[in-house]
Amino acid sequence: MTAPQARTSDKPNPGLEREHALDLLRQMVRIRRFEEKCVELYSAGKIRGFLHLYIGEEAVAVGAMQALEPGDAVVATYREHGHALVRGIPAEKIMAELYGKQEGCSGGRGGSMHLFDAATRFYGGNAIVGGGLPLAVGLALADKLQQRSRVTACFFGEGAVAEGEFHESMNLAALWRLPVLFCCENNLYAMGTALKRSESEVDLCLKATSYEMPAWPVDGMDVALCEAAARRAALAVRSGEGPCFLEFRTYRFRAHSMYDPQLYRTKAEIAEWEKRDPINLFEARLQEQGIISSDEIAAIEAAVAGEIDKSVELAEAGTWEPIESLTRFVYSDRTRP
């Protein structure tokens, strides 16, 4: 395994450069505030359907995405607002998608669970648990066959580990030494089923290593650690050593999808995890280390608020796709590639 770069060692305090640190914070705040706005808009009936919130897990997407280059690919799940924002899909295109507007990143056809963006090679929003993994394997296969040094990052929850597609994909990627970075976001609950209630073996890394794949767990509430682990893994993947598996241990603060009675966990447990809110944690550390001031935090908040307000404004002003084009894109417009 190649030694990780100095800046991204997995030591607790990697000595982040100031601008980068501010950017990590800004990205996490963007996700948090964007989704808080989504809750408001959902309540107001502007957003409909399922709305799976990432609040509490922001450090994972923000940290992991740091390891990706523009040519890399991302395959995500139905809880992917954060990934899409960090990957670089403009907030207004995401918001417009949640509104179902033509200006949305999927033209209003996907909604919250199916954000797509060719420009950033963002291959969705897959809403079938485990369904995205084979796609990531294929994208990586295409890169390998075309001798491209690219990584496909595949995000999925720990619930997917119970799916056959997980095991088939892990095996195939390892067997063919494909450049896939498997990012398992273990937030402990598959909807309402705790990991320990669904898996005989709860050490997820053990499952990955059984496919002869390097795997290690990461503190998913610490953005710096997330970044460090992802960089280390991505480097290995990019260098042709085959796939890697990261288990990001994190927690979802809110319900599975907008509202649920949360019968499956206690308020105390949520409160305990909220003490390790990744944004608070990182802010406090940066302040403690004198890297960031309260004013700068306020400035970040203000800038993010402005971006989100603008995204709502643009989504509101967006257009509804004419019903005549309902069946457009069932098949390609062009008949030959």
Partner 1 sequence: MSAQAKTVRITYREAVREAIRDALQRDPRVFLMGEDVGRYGGCFAVTKGLLEEFGPERIRDTPLSESAFVGAGIGAAMGGMRPIVEIMTVNFSLLALDQIINNAATILYMSGGQFNIPLVIRMTTGAGRQLAAQHSHSLEGWYAHIPGIKVVAPATLEDARGMLWTALEDPDPVLIFEHGSLYNMEGDLAADAGPVDIDKAAVRRAGTDISLITYGGTLNNVLAAANTLAADGVSAEVVDLRTLRPLDTETILGSVARTHRAVIVDEGWRSGSISAEISARIMEGAFYELDAPVERVCTAEAPMPYAKHLEDAALPQAAHIVGCVRLMIGNDG
Residues that bind partner 1 (CB under 8 A): 73, 75, 104-110, 114, 116-118, 123-126, 128, 130-131, 133-143, 145-146, 152, 164-165, 168-169, 171-172, 175, 327-337
Q: Between residues 15 and 71, which has the closer beta carbon with respect to partner 1?
A: 71
Nearer to partner 1 by C-beta: 151 or 229? 151
The contacts of residue 175 (CB under 8 Å, 6+ apart) are none
Q: Which C-beta is closer to partner 1: that of 8 or that of 126?
A: 126
Cβ of residue 170: shortest distance to partner 1, in angstroms?
Answer: 9
Report, in Å, the least distance between residue 110 CB and partner 1.
5
Question: What's the min distance (Å) between Cβ of 139 and partner 1?
Answer: 4
Q: Helices marked H in the chain — which ranges?
A: 18-43, 58-65, 81-87, 91-99, 132-145, 164-175, 195-198, 204-209, 223-236, 267-274, 278-288, 294-317
Nearer to partner 1, 295 or 324 (CB): 324
Report the residue number, 115 or 279, with the smaller CB distance to partner 1: 115
Say which residues have a Cβ less than 8 Å from residue 50's Cβ, sequence separation at least 6. Answer: 78, 111, 112, 113, 127, 257, 258
* Category of 188 on φ-ψ map: left (φ > 0), alpha (ψ -120 to 50) or beta: left
CB of 29 to partner 1, least distance (A): 28
Residues 117 and 89 sit within 8 Å (Cβ to Cβ): yes
Query: What is the closest distance, in whole angstroms, from the C-beta atom of residue 151 to partner 1 in the complex?
Result: 12
